[in-house]
Amino acid sequence: MRDSILETLVGGVVISVAAVFLWFTLARGGEASPSQGYIELGVRFNSASGIDRGTDVRMAGVKIGTVRNVGLDVARAEAMVTLAVDNRIFPLGDGTTARIQSESLLGGSYINLEPADGFGEIEPCVAPDAVFGGSGCGEILYAQGAIDLMTLFASFATGSAGSGPDE
């Protein structure tokens, strides 16, 4: 009798600790504030499939930030993704590209930033939450959305991939 009460108490403590860790992870997941050395950038994708709050942002395979928010611009039918990236990567040329890439065939996506020179630099926004405010500050202009592998496989299976005028 005494052993079962002790086991029940230990089990309750373990479940309580796990619940606290779960709550902390969900409450803080994907958050990074500019005061911690992060700058917000925005990018518009035609498809942000597989991207959620907390998704990694990488450059050259190294994690440099996370996705803070994913929203929809109804007027333009585009996904608006807000990124919090390490301020040490600045200045970034305005030719920088953001691509959604898969980690493996089984799933898992991340956003890869590929820096490139352009005609200027991406200017970080001064005011918080001003990324998609119309001023153009903090916005990456070149983006490639997620590739739907099922559609790609289906096109190969039906033979429509590569069908051209001479077929």
- pLDDT, tens only, 77-131: 999 999 999 988 888 888 999 999 988 777 789 999 999 888 888 888 777 667 8
167 part of a folded domain:
no
Report if residue 164 sits inside a domain: no
Helix (H) or strand (E) holding 79: strand 78-86
Q: Is residue 22 part of a domain?
A: no
Q: pLDDT tens for residues 40-77?
A: 999 999 988 889 999 999 999 999 999 999 999 999 99
pTM for the model stands at 0.68
Tally of domains within the chain: 1
In a domain, 141, yes or no: yes
76 part of a folded domain: yes
Q: Which domain holds residue 99?
A: 37-149
Residue 32's pLDDT band (cuts 50, 70, 90):
very low
At residue 39, φ and ψ (nearest 5 deg) are -125, 140
On whether residue 23 sits in a domain, the answer given is no
pLDDT band at 28 (very low <50, low <70, confident <90, very high): low
In angstroms, the CA 98 to CA 42 distance is: 10
| Within a domain: 30 | no
Residue 163 has pLDDT above 70, yes or no: no
